[in-house]
Amino acid sequence: MHPSTVIAAVALAAALPVTALASQELATSKNCMACHSVDKKLVGPA
């Protein structure tokens, strides 16, 4: 395989969006749930 092909493939893989995963415990401990909700629409500053 040509080196530029490998470099292009690695760059493309690095540029793909990644879904952020957070735990419910972390969100609760940092008081994120004061403004955010996962199961319903919550009106607030966020």
For residue 13, being part of any structural domain is answered with no
For residue 41, being part of any structural domain is answered with yes
> For residue 24, what pLDDT is reported?
83
What are the residues whose beta carbons fall under 8 Å from the beta carbon of 36, sequence distance 6 or more?
A: 27, 42, 44, 46
Mean pLDDT by groups of 10 residues along the chain of 46 residues: 90 76 83 83 68
For residue 1, being part of any structural domain is answered with no
Q: How many domains does the chain have?
A: 1
pTM of the model as a whole: 0.39
> For residue 7, what pLDDT is reported?
93
Domain coverage including residue 40: 19-46
> For residue 12, what pLDDT is reported?
86
CA distance to 7, 17, 21, 41, 43, per residue, from 32 (Å) = 39, 23, 14, 14, 13
For residue 2, being part of any structural domain is answered with no
For residue 38, being part of any structural domain is answered with yes
